[in-house]
C-alpha cells in the first residue's frame, strides 16, 4: 500500500521490480549466448536510441495531459494550474494508471530506468571489448556500482512508494522526460565516455573508487532503512541505539481526514544533510576522479557540470 494521496486514497501496488530486472537481464544474456542478439546492440545504435527516447518522452508527456483530462485514474488527485503549458510541464495526474495496478510513474522511473541502466552498461562493456579487445577496470567499476543501486532500488521497491517522486510530483513532461530520457542517457555518461576514452586505473585507485561508491551506498541504505522503519512503526522504534526522534507533521486531505507524516531527525538524518542523496554524491565524485585519471579533463569537466544540477537537486 502506498501513502495517503491528497484526496485521501491509499493505492495498492504489485511490487515485482526485482523479478522484472532479473528476468530481463537473464533473457538478454541467454539470447546473446545463443547467438540470437549482439550484446553491444544498444551501445552501437546509441544515437538512434537517443532520438527514439526523445520522441517517446515528448509523446508520453502529451498523452499524459490528454489522459488527465479525458480519462483520469483518480479524479480528485489532479492538480491544475490554469495554464496549459505549465500543466504539461509539471503534470496534472498524481497517480496515472492503466488498469488497476499498472502505475505509469512506478513503471517508468523504477522498472524501465533501473533495468535500463544494467542493460546499457552491459552493452557498453561488450562494445568496448569488441572495439579494443579488452575491458577496462574503470567501466567494470562504474557498472558494478550502478548495478548495486539498481538492485537495491528494486529489491526495496516499497521504499520508493514513500518518496517525493511518488507522493508529491504529478506525471508531466518533467517526469516523462526524466524517466524516459534523462535517467538512461545522463546517469550512464561514464560508460559512454569510457568507450571513447578507455581508462584503466591503478589497483589502488580502483579499490578507492569501489570503497567510495560502496560507502555512499551504505550511507544511503542505512538512512533509507531508518526512515522506512520509523514510518512503519509510527516512530515507536529504536534508531542508531536510541529512540527515534521525529517531527509529526499533520495535514488534511481533500476528504477532510487529518493525516500524519513523520519526519525523522535522529540517526543518519541527524548527522548528515540529505543522507538519502549520498549515492548520488558518490556518482559525482567518481566522475571527478575518473576524469582526473585521464588526459581529457576538459571533457570530464563538462560532464561533471552537466550532472551537478540533477544530482544535488533538493
| pLDDT tens digits along 176-207 | 898 889 889 988 999 999 999 998 989 998 99
With residues binned 3-state (H G I as helix, E B as strand, rest as coil), the percentages for the chain, rounded to 5, are 65, 10, 30
Map grid coordinates 495554464 to a residue. 83
Once rounded to an integer, what is the mean pLDDT over residues 148-156?
Answer: 89
Please state, in angstroms and rounded to a whole number, the distance separating the CA atoms of residues 279 and 271.
Answer: 16
Q: Tell me the C-alpha distance between 77 and 178, whole Å.
A: 21
Please tell me whether the overall predicted TM-score, pTM, comes out greater than 0.75 for this model: yes
CA angle 84, 91, 155 (to 5 degrees): 165
Pairing of strands 238-239, 102-103: unpaired
Q: Using one digit for the tens of pLDDT, what is the confidence trace for 212-252?
A: 888 888 888 888 788 877 777 777 787 877 787 777 777 66
* Residues in Cβ contact with 37 at an 8 Å cutoff, skipping those fewer than 6 apart: 28, 31
- For 292-301, what is each residue's pLDDT tens digit? 554 444 444 4
Amino acid at each position: 500500500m502506498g501513502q495517503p494521496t491528497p484526496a485521501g486514497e491509499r493505492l495498492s501496488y504489485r511490487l515485482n521490480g526485482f523479478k522484472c530486472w532479473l528476468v530481463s537481464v537473464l533473457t538478454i544474456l541467454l539470447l546473446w549466448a545463443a547467438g540470437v542478439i549482439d550484446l553491444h546492440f544498444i551501445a552501437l545504435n546509441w544515437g538512434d536510441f537517443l532520438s527514439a527516447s526523445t520522441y517517446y518522452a515528448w509523446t508520453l508527456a502529451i498523452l499524459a495531459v490528454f489522459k488527465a483530462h479525458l480519462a483520469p485514474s483518480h479524479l480528485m488527485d489532479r492538480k491544475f494550474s490554469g495554464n496549459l503549458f505549465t500543466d504539461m510541464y509539471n503534470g496534472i495526474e498524481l497517480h496515472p494508471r492503466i488498469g488497476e495496478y499498472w502505475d505509469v510513474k512506478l513503471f517508468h522511473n523504477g522498472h524501465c530506468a533501473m533495468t535500463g541502466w544494467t542493460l546499457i552498461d552491459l552493452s557498453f562493456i561488450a562494445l568496448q571489448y569488441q572495439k579494443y579487445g579488452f575491458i577496462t577496470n574503470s567501466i567494470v567499476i562504474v557498472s558494478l556500482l550502478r548495478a548495486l543501486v539498481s538492485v537495491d532500488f528494486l529489491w526495496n521497491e516499497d521504499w520508493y512508494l514513500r518518496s517525493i517522486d511518488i507522493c508529491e510530483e504529478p506525471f508531466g513532461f518533467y517526469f516523462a522526460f526524466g524517466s524516459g530520457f534523462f535517467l538512461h542517457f545522463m546517469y550512464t555518461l561514464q560508460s559512454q565516455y569510457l568507450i571513447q576514452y578507455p581508462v584503466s586505473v591503478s589497483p589502488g585507485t580502483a579499490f578507492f573508487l569501489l570503497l567510495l561508491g560502496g560507502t555512499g551506498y551504505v550511507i544511503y541504505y542505512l538512512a533509507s532503512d531508518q526512515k522506512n522503519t520509523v514510518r512503519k512503526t509510527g516512530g515507536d522504534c529504536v534508531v542508531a541505539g536510541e529512540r527515534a526522534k521525529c517531527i509529526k507533521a499533520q495535514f488534511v486531505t481533500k476528504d477532510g481526514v487529518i493525516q500524519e507524516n513523520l519526519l525523522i531527525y535522529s540517526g543518519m538524518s541527524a548527522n548528515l544533510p540529505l543522507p538519502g542523496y549520498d549515492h548520488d554524491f558518490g556518482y559525482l565524485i567518481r566522475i571527478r576522479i575518473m576524469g582526473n585519471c585521464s588526459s581529457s579533463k576538459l571533457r570530464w569537466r563538462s560532464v561533471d557540470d552537466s550532472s551537478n544540477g540533477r544530482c544535488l537537486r533538493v
